[in-house]
Amino acid sequence: MSCTGKRIITLAAISIAVVAGCALAQQAFKPNMDWAHWRLGHHAELEFLKPNNLTVTFGTGAPNFETISRKEYDERVAKEREFNKRYHEMGYIVLSYVTTALGGSTDTPKDSPRKDQTRVYEMYQKNWDEYADYLGPKPKADPTTWLQIRPDGTYQTYRYTPPGREVGRNFEVWGCQNNPDFVRFMEARLTTRADIGIDGSYIDYTSMRAGTCYCDYCRKAFVVYLNEHLPKEVAKAKYGVADYAAVKAPEKRGEPFWMEWLQYRDNIVAEFHKRMRTAARKYNPNFILGGNINDCGYGLIAYNSAANMEMLLRDGYDDFGYTETQHRLANAPRNDNGSKVSNTALLKYMSGAGHGRPSLFYATEITSPLFPHPTEKSLSTIAQANIAEAAAHGFTFREKFETPPGATQMYKFWAENESKLAGTRLRSNVAVVASNNQFLADELTFSLTTSRVLADRGIGHVVAVEADLELATLRQYDLVVLPYLPLLSAEAQQTLVSYVEQGGKLIILGRTGVKDRHNLPHSKVVLAGLVGGSYPEQAVNRKVKKGQVEFIPLPIPSSQYRAHLKSDLFADIPDAVVRNQIDPDLRKILEGLADKVVQMLPNRLTRLTGNYPFVEINSMVTPAKDRMLVHLVNYDLTLDGDITPAKNVNVEVALPAGMKVRSIEYNGTLGAMQSVKFTSCGGSAPCVRFQADQINIWGLAVLTLQ
């Protein structure tokens, strides 16, 4: 039952609607979407939320049609609606988990799961009609036909097993986002959540699974996609094909239309999210949606899982991001060789792809038995490192099970300074451009690797995505780095040329832009015109009208700079970047690139002016440019929980054009903010210097501008 009566089904649109007066019942509460307000608590108990200064909760969830009787379902709905109303009155944002997986169980853990063992199938056979007001009429095709399938018709199964536990009887399979019956079922899951007052959901297992989906719906939709998105002349030039009707969906890397198949899979997921959000907003116009992208990096994630964050977080799709990278920091926050373990490059990419939307960062599960020695000290330290890393990029960190004292202290500091954090977004005058399109074309690129090296050198920067390559956006950067992007449209290249001619500075690494966005060679490389018409074999530095361009040659060896890890189809993968397992020859080239950044922007960088190998710097600015934040994160800690504070760290801050500093407050020990002295960097560029006396894990400086 919905809030004022039964739901009705609009069969013509194959969508669920509500009776008059019910759809807007929960519109009064509008969630605060500023990242600084988002402190997520996994539990709903107030005795947990309040002491930890948390503002977002997963609440008590929502019932699933297939797990309980209709009587129990209605009782749960009434109870949860009252819970959400009460928590809204206290100011809490309530999110809910929802999954594209269909769960079931086998007779024993060793049995192979069958499609007819899902709980949805059992409901279909026994009591679908009890939920007809939610789900619509019983479809002719049963849930065994809904699944994502491989070319041979088989399907993937998964048994989630927490660390240290035995494999159980439960399993999961995944529905296809092109199957209309499954989509209708998922709409009902989302609209139920919106109807009972939940503010939003993140969709788990949102991607197409690797090697799928080749059902009839997906095969036919692929032909439609080609007709809408791939010009016939491009297909003729690439594959010698101009009639898409007979095109077979490719099954593996290297086959015709493989790049387009990957792009199409991304499109399936994005359009599915759009449809889910549209359905939910019929019940709650403020309903927000996000999707679990698993890793927010490149490589096999972008290549196999149809998890294109750049597409999901563009306008009209997702409202917030969600990413899991917990296995990245599972072993230690610091490698045995002394190199820091850092997710900074991944978070910078996600921040760029999200265009300022809040995002949830689910990193290390700071619980036993994942940690060999999960002492309170260890858990507290690792929690603080994860939270600091997230906050420094405008994210909130999700803890799954525990909130040790160190996390409580961190959230208290965050809450005490929320008014100072509010309204700021990650901002720098240096941008590294990233492009997911390179991976879809089986090409190399080094965006994340370049970001890692700049962070190691203490150089503040952001990662921008291809959508940012428009003149109005580029003008906010003093310097743009193109870290080897073989695929780049002529239009984007011309915009970059205009940016340079109007005073911008550009670093081009390797033969960037030699191919168009479809992976076909350009007859003329527009960017190469900045360095003489064609790319030379030696470095070039040139003035171009009001701007400057630096070309750094990049020979590509047979190794392709791969990290030689388990998932090393590409060099620019999270495993290598996070743990600093970068090819030594590539790192040497990128160290030279970092030197060029420093040379090209004297007194115009936000950076650490000294050797602080475990400290990273980020900056944020309000839209009005009246307040600026500098985040300093210290990674010098051990798995046992020992912290080596960074002392007397010299910081240089490039201010927004035309602005001056009125005051600076700082604290690096989670205490009260204190005024600190600052000096001008000298010269005409707006730049100041100050010293951070100590950074335990998170150092925060607040610059008031005028």
pLDDT, residue 369, reads 52
Q: How far apart are CA 98 and CA 477, in angstroms?
A: 39
Are 283 and 295 a contacting pair, CB within 8 Å? no
Question: Span 189-205, mean pLDDT?
Answer: 95
- When pLDDT is cut at 50, 70 and 90, the band that residue 334 belongs to is low
> 81 and 24 in one domain?
yes
Instruction: Please give the residue that has the higher pLDDT: either 77 or 403.
Output: 77
- When pLDDT is cut at 50, 70 and 90, the band that residue 210 belongs to is confident
Q: How far apart are CA 668 and CA 702, in angstroms?
A: 12
> 671 and 617 in one domain?
yes
Residue 229 phi/psi, 5-degree rounding, is -120, -15
- When pLDDT is cut at 50, 70 and 90, the band that residue 566 belongs to is low
> 615 and 593 in one domain?
no
For 439, the domain range is 430-600
pLDDT(455) > 80? yes
* Domain membership flag for residue 352: no
pLDDT digits (tens, 9 = 90+) for 82-126: 999 999 999 999 999 999 999 999 999 999 999 999 999 999 999
pLDDT, residue 24, reads 46
* Domain membership flag for residue 514: yes
* Domain membership flag for residue 143: yes
- pTM recorded for the entire structure: 0.94
- When pLDDT is cut at 50, 70 and 90, the band that residue 324 belongs to is confident
* Domain membership flag for residue 342: no
pLDDT(30) > 80? yes
pLDDT, residue 382, reads 84
- When pLDDT is cut at 50, 70 and 90, the band that residue 161 belongs to is confident
Using the Cα atoms of residue 574, residue 575, residue 578 and residue 581 in order, give the sign of their dihedral. Answer: negative
For residue 225, give the 3-state DSSP assignment.
Answer: helix
Q: Which of 556, 575, 600 is the last residue of a domain?
A: 600
Angle at 480 between CA 475 and CA 486, to 5 degrees: 125
Burial 576-606 (b: 16+ CB within 10 A, else e): bbbbbebbeebbebbeebbebbeebbeebbb
pLDDT, residue 198, reads 97
Question: Span 2-10, mean pLDDT?
Answer: 44
DSSP state for residue 466 in the 8-state scheme: G
What does the mean pLDDT of the chain come to? Answer: 90
* Domain membership flag for residue 373: no
Place of tokens 């907003």: 281
> 536 and 437 in one domain?
yes
pLDDT, residue 661, reads 98
pLDDT, residue 338, reads 72
**Helix pair angle (376-391, 344-354), 10° resolution:** 40
> 508 and 462 in one domain?
yes
* Domain membership flag for residue 2: no
> 206 and 128 in one domain?
yes
CATH number at residue 49: 3.20.20
CATH number at residue 681: 2.60.40.1180
Q: Which residues pair with 95 in a beta bridge?
A: 200
Q: How far apart are CA 440 and CA 262, in angstroms?
A: 6
- Residue partners of 268: CB distance under 8 A and separation at least 6: 177, 178, 208, 218, 221, 306
pLDDT, residue 576, reads 82
> 225 and 257 in one domain?
yes
Are 695 and 666 a contacting pair, CB within 8 Å? no
> 147 and 89 in one domain?
yes
Q: Which of 600, 619, 644 is the last residue of a domain?
A: 600
> 663 and 586 in one domain?
no
Question: Span 431-452, mean pLDDT?
Answer: 93
CATH number at residue 507: 3.40.50.880
- When pLDDT is cut at 50, 70 and 90, the band that residue 31 belongs to is very high
> 618 and 596 in one domain?
no
Domain count, the chain: 3
Are 317 and 331 a contacting pair, CB within 8 Å? no
pLDDT(16) > 60? no
* Domain membership flag for residue 148: yes
> 497 and 586 in one domain?
yes
pLDDT(567) > 60? no
* Domain membership flag for residue 390: no
Q: Are strands 505-509 and 462-465 parallel, antiparallel or unpaired?
A: unpaired
pLDDT(370) > 90? no
Q: Which of 581, 600, 619 is the last residue of a domain?
A: 600
What is the 3-class SS of 279-348, one letter each residue? HHCCCCCCCEEEEECCCCCCCHHHHHCCCCHHHHCCCCCCCCEEEECHHHHCCCCECCCCCECCCHHHHH
Q: Report percent pLDDT > 90 for the chain.
A: 75
> 561 and 646 in one domain?
no
